[in-house]
Structure 1
Amino acid sequence: MYQDHDFEQLAKERPSVSEKSPEQVLHEVFGYESFRPLQGDIVREVINGGDALVLMPTGGGKSLCYQVPALVRTGTAIVISPLIALMQDQVNALRELGVKAAFLNSSMDFEQARATEYALMTGELDLLYCAPERLIQPRIVELLHNASLSMFAIDEAHCVSQWGHDFRSDYLQLSMLAEEFPGVPRIALTATADERTRKEIAERLSLTNARHFVSGFDRPNIQYRITPKTNANKQLLDFIKAEHQGDCGIVYCLSRNKVDATAKLLADKGYTALPYHAGLSSEERSRNQERFLREDGVIVVATIAFGMGIDKPDVRFVAHLDLPKSLEAYYQETGRAGRDGKPSTAWMVYGLQDVIKLRQMLETSQGNDQFKRVERQKLDAMLGLCEVTQCRRQVLLRYFGDTLEEPCGNCDTCLTPPETWDGTVAVQKALSCVFRTGQRYGVTYLIDVLRGSSNERILQAGHQAISTFGIGTELSASEWKSVFRQLVANGYLRADPDGYGALQLTEMCRPLLKGEQKIELRKDPVVKKSSGSGSGKPSGANVKDQITDQAGWDALRACRKELADKQGVPPYVIFHDTTLFDMLERRPNSLDELAEVSGVGAAKLEKYGDIFLQTLREIAQA
């Protein structure tokens, strides 16, 4: 932790930038030549004392929207962040830039907290990160009243939404900031919010009069792929081996047991795979997260408890072995891939049991009718993305109120357009079979009846005598499973809420049974028996293809790793991969030339310039 003398030293290292323009701060501190779209407008709004609600995709540069104003405005910026474990890394990254930053949360002992509070009161901090549960304590509120504050930044603002996937009750009390500190500008930021959630954020945080800045949600470097689940473990291994060998990635599973089993499977195959879920001790979770952030090629297998606020830029793939509950969750989780703008993959396997399980969880939840109705709508939208036959990116963006005029060309439905077929007759057979067996059986049993299997269970029930017995031999068991999956996904069938997996008819299926409506079904792709998996080109291959000097690339990464290890920070805190790419391409010969490399600010130029120039000279002589 940082003691009083640390802040005094930082104050000497970097002169005040309060009189500098935001463009000067962006270049001199952060090493960037210009703001991205909307960033400049947001920064100027906050610098001028206005409030803002910012929606910007993961990796779009949200943090600069409050970090730059924090360095231009006089006083300390208070950043409310929901995850204690990540504050240290965020603060470390800023301190590497010469910024006076600290955090205040429940992980600190009394002396550490006292030193940080002293630095706040004496005006020695540019930014102070604070957990919401800490911020709302009366003693801290009083402390803030006696400090010079430049602004409040509420990160991960969707946590205030009670309909959201990351709701945190402490966020509801942050509306008090408007009452307690009326003259201090506030900026709320999130990457994940549909129109309903945006309105809720504005109301609950008293930002209804704030300017709204909605950036495009598109992440064009991410290739979206969703494929039917046949053998999830084999599919995952094939996918990683074919496209992301040696890459850093995240694998999401619904249950803790599945996380542990999948991590062990990958580890047994030679991958550095670490589990992360709430059932592990806090020490093991922290240790695994640290390794993920600081080592290359680590795969974390996790429940959705992992990832919020993760700023690791070189995650090359995010894989889902289970269906997320909503498009918000899917978008946020997949958005952890490719934050550096390089090609990355969002890959998911999806099956009938996923649909049944989530629908059962929803119907048996303790929520009221309104909550369940909203959750059904969110799940339906998620299922719609899975079953769509058009461009997935267009569907995903449309959900968030964004548009893409032309198909993206970088999702599986664009790269390998799915076939459809007239499933009307097959659907009538499937629905009739559900009805004639009493709506008391699961999909495996129903398929056996349709295909005329004379097993003991069917004989005991007497279902060999019903009219739907054996009328479905034209389709294989896997094809029938696809039919039932699409019927459940589209709401024609529902899973028994009692949890036994029985399928039941809904009102929607009446026109289909009466022959008043036709239905087109998606034809699942044929599973190839090769070692490779996936549709279209391997999205991660382009990253490696850009490296024309592998030895030089390895040398720069080794230099970065050595510096990171000495300072106990993740390598990307020293420089992002994109900065190393730019160095290798430009081959600067002087500090002035190195200063032109994207991501090399004044503080890092002074700290690391000579070291990296020496490495570049050694590369040239090799």
Structure 2
Amino acid sequence: MSESLTDKYKVLKHTFGFPGFREMQEEAVDAILSRRDLAMLLPTGGGKSLCYQLPTLLMDGITIVVSPLIALMHDQVLALHELGIEAAMISSAQSPQEQQQTFTKAKNGILKFLYIAPERLANGGFLSWLAMLDINYFVIDEAHCISEWGHEFRDDYRRLGELRCAFPHTPIAAFTATATPKVREDILSQLGLRDPLILRAPVLRKNITISVRERDSGWRTELMGILNKHEGESGIIYAFSRKETEEIAEFLSKKALKCSAYHAGMSPEQRQSVHQAFLNDETQIIVATVAFGMGIDKGDIRFVIHTSLPKTIENYYQEIGRAGRDGIDSEAVLFYSGSDFYNKKRLIDEGSDPQYREMILAKLRSAMDYATAEECRHRLIASYFSDSVEHCGDRCDNCKDSLSPKTDITVPAQKFLSCLYKTGERFGATYISEVLCGEEKEKILSNAHEKLSVFGIGKDLSKSIWSTVAKRLIELGAIEPDEYKALKLTASGAEILKGKQSVHIRQERLSPKKASVKTKTRDLHAPIHFEDFKALRAAIAKEHRIPAYIVFGDKTLYELAEQLPNTKEEMLGISGIGEVKFERYGEAFLKLSRELSGK
């Protein structure tokens, strides 16, 4: 590196194009430069990559980055190449010849970064080969995968502790976006970090607006309303099963949306093709199972939608964090049903290791509590990770609707629970509603339930209202369905029945929904010439065969459209444009900027 680029601030601007560090980035960079172990918890979109990429450029030797997915490693290497930095990866997708070429480059000191998958370390010969390199430090990305108490535990990550034994004097920097206190302690212990600097950024993502909606028969109309609002923008829809991803993708494709399904049942070539089309903006919406997305390096995802309850808050937080990584306003919407909890619980009961079953069920219950809560959603997420948020303002549906009236439905709830108990806890919500409404149906008469004291005591309410009461009781854990979908009273339900616990619900849920399909209005945050710069970026990306976001991110395009620079110096003042990127693409954008400004 030239003498003029031995300063971290100069590298920050010249190579990465940023005028200053974001929160906690400089502390992380300094820790690595001082050869200190580091553990950093930084929300997705917080600028994690820069924390370990910048110091490497100021150090001798090569940095080894352990990353869990080939697609993520590929994207990272491609982005580094665009910055003029020598980087490579070793993966099972490469031929022996390609791997050998990478080995040779690393041994000859050509590479600054080498990305590897954790399973490589299971090969003792590979560790011996690493010992031949001048390694300045190790980076463990997605470090939560090392913990058996986390949500994405991977056996291969457990072997990473061997790095400390094999390289006792080489610093280790661990990064994750999601970790509870127990998982954080496990990361430090398993990696054998010595007196690490621990940096923990606030959990709150201020640019993401969160909302949760009940998934009923009209939920697809609501979905279309959200997608129309985000017309032309990139987004991810997470579905529960492979079948559902294909059904929703087909439904949206028939609505003329550029959409593809993605799930583990597809061939690696199919998944790679869909992934690449999404990065290149050829596909705007991915409908996927959670097999898609860990570490996806695309900054302009504007919405993330879940069609069912996530398994854990960790999963949910990581998945919604894929929206708005560039800092621009984005949206996360969760559709859920009371049945989601019990469908997932059944799978856990049937297939989980007994040692972890209770922990997994507790995580699922936390996700359900989150979905049905009526307090600030950002605060709930922060609290789960032992962080605190005072108030998100209007960044979640609950805070927006904080003045929305609530109705006490304790008495109807007690009637429902009493009817459930007296009919023997052998029926579902529809049957209980029919008994309460006094319907003389054949099944009710054959069971002699028309003779019960609860028969007809709910005639003042419609069956749809009773259905809503049942849903609220399921949400609160007062009743739960068994394997045959017969509702059972729980201890919490007994407390309600005895009058020791009240039940409230938002008044709006007791009224019929008015379905509407929202239309796209021009994004008031986007400058008038944003689309012109976006079109130029797309053309350049296609010419260079790289994803559009690698040219410049949306945030950079926003600033270009707002400021319309007329000189190289003015353009270099924009965040995301350094000397390296200007040399590659600057003149084309500068020419367009001058044309748009009329100068």
Which bin holds the TM-score, normalised by the shorter protein?
over 0.9
Amino acid at match of 1:596: G
Q: Please, which of 386, 394, 406 is the counterpart of residue 371 of structure 2?
A: 386
Aligned to 2:225: 238
Aligned to 1:576: 553
Amino acid at match of 2:9: E
Bigger Cα displacement from structure 2, 243-252 vs 427-436 = 427-436
Bigger Cα displacement from structure 2, 376-385 vs 325-334 = 376-385
Q: Please, which of 313, 318, 334 is the counterpart of residue 327 of structure 1?
A: 313
Inter-partner Cα distance in structure 2 for 1:486 and 1:120: 60
Amino acid at match of 1:608: Y
CA drift of 1:570 comes to: 0.3
SS in 1 for 2:374: coil
Q: Any residues of structure 2 matched to 1:200-239 within 5 Å, and which?
A: 200-207=186-193, 209-230=195-216, 231-239=218-226
Aligned to 2:563: 586
Inter-partner Cα distance in structure 2 for 1:208 and 1:492: 47
SS in 2 for 1:72: coil
Q: Please, which of 503, 507, 510 is the counterpart of residue 494 of structure 2?
A: 510
Q: Does 1:597 align with 2:574?
A: yes
Aligned to 1:443: 429
CA drift of 1:380 comes to: 2.1
CA drift of 1:17 comes to: 7.5
Change (3 A) 1:480 1:367: farther
CA drift of 1:465 comes to: 2.7
Aligned to 1:400: 385
Q: Any residues of structure 2 matched to 1:189-588 within 5 Å, and which?
A: 189-207=175-193, 209-230=195-216, 231-241=218-228, 243-295=229-281, 298-368=284-354, 370-417=355-402, 418-496=404-482, 499-525=483-509, 526-532=511-517, 544-549=523-528, 552-588=529-565
CA contact (8 A) 1:355 1:485 kept: no
CA drift of 1:407 comes to: 4.3
SS in 1 for 2:252: helix
CA drift of 1:519 comes to: 3.2
Change (3 A) 1:578 1:193: same
Inter-partner Cα distance in structure 1 for 2:501 and 2:71: 54
Measured on the aligned residues, the alpha-carbon RMSD in Å equals 2.1
CA contact (8 A) 1:276 1:303 kept: yes
CA drift of 1:120 comes to: 0.9
CA drift of 1:508 comes to: 2.7
CA contact (8 A) 1:104 1:113 kept: yes
CA contact (8 A) 1:18 1:71 kept: no
Aligned to 1:5: none
Q: Does 1:617 align with 2:588?
A: no
Deviation track 1:351-384 (CA, whole Å, cap 9, x = no partner) reads 122122123223333321x522222321222122
Change (3 A) 1:517 1:135: same
Q: Mark the runs of 5 or more structure 1 residues left unpaired by the alignment.
A: 1-14
Q: Does 1:188 align with 2:174?
A: yes
Inter-partner Cα distance in structure 2 for 1:489 and 1:376: 15
Q: Does 1:23 align with 2:9?
A: yes
Change (3 A) 1:244 1:527: farther
Change (3 A) 1:228 1:476: farther
SS in 2 for 1:249: strand
Deviation track 1:508-559 (CA, whole Å, cap 9, x = no partner) reads 33332223333334445445435246xxxx9x968x213343xx33332222
Inter-partner Cα distance in structure 1 for 2:271 and 2:461: 47
Bigger Cα displacement from structure 2, 107-116 vs 434-443 = 434-443
Q: Does 1:155 align with 2:134?
A: no
SS in 2 for 1:226: strand
CA drift of 1:571 comes to: 0.4
Inter-partner Cα distance in structure 2 for 1:217 and 1:360: 31
CA contact (8 A) 1:352 1:484 kept: no
Amino acid at match of 1:358: K
Change (3 A) 1:541 1:87: farther
Aligned to 2:109: 123
CA contact (8 A) 1:76 1:148 kept: yes
CA contact (8 A) 1:492 1:509 kept: yes
Bigger Cα displacement from structure 2, 164-173 vs 458-467 = 458-467
Q: Mark the runs of 5 or more structure 2 residues left unpaired by the alignment.
A: none
CA drift of 1:394 comes to: 1.5
Across the two proteins, how many residue pairs are aligned to each other? 596
Deviation track 1:52-111 (CA, whole Å, cap 9, x = no partner) reads 111111101111111112212211111111111222221111110011111111100011
Change (3 A) 1:431 1:290: same
Change (3 A) 1:484 1:200: farther
SS in 1 for 2:539: helix
Inter-partner Cα distance in structure 1 for 2:123 and 2:434: 61
Q: Please, which of 21, 43, 65 is the counterpart of residue 29 of structure 2?
A: 43
Inter-partner Cα distance in structure 2 for 1:199 and 1:18: 41
Change (3 A) 1:616 1:471: same
Inter-partner Cα distance in structure 1 for 2:264 and 2:18: 38
CA drift of 1:248 comes to: 1.1
Aligned to 2:164: 178
CA drift of 1:442 comes to: 2.3
Bigger Cα displacement from structure 2, 212-221 vs 555-564 = 555-564
Deviation track 1:467-526 (CA, whole Å, cap 9, x = no partner) reads 333222333333333322332233222331xx2222212223333222333333444544
SS in 2 for 1:531: coil
CA contact (8 A) 1:106 1:134 kept: no
Change (3 A) 1:171 1:387: same
SS in 2 for 1:348: strand
CA contact (8 A) 2:206 2:392 kept: no
SS in 2 for 1:394: helix
TM-score by length of 2: 0.95
Inter-partner Cα distance in structure 2 for 1:312 and 1:40: 23
CA drift of 1:584 comes to: 1.9
Bigger Cα displacement from structure 2, 65-74 vs 267-276 = 65-74
CA drift of 1:26 comes to: 1.2
Inter-partner Cα distance in structure 2 for 1:115 and 1:264: 43
CA contact (8 A) 2:277 2:283 kept: no
CA contact (8 A) 1:77 1:128 kept: yes
CA drift of 1:314 comes to: 0.9
CA contact (8 A) 1:391 1:407 kept: yes
Deviation track 1:384-425 (CA, whole Å, cap 9, x = no partner) reads 222222222122212112212234222111212343222222
Inter-partner Cα distance in structure 2 for 1:375 and 1:524: 33
CA drift of 1:19 comes to: 7.0
SS in 1 for 2:48: coil
Deviation track 1:158-188 (CA, whole Å, cap 9, x = no partner) reads 1122233322111111111111111111111
Bigger Cα displacement from structure 2, 68-77 vs 436-445 = 436-445
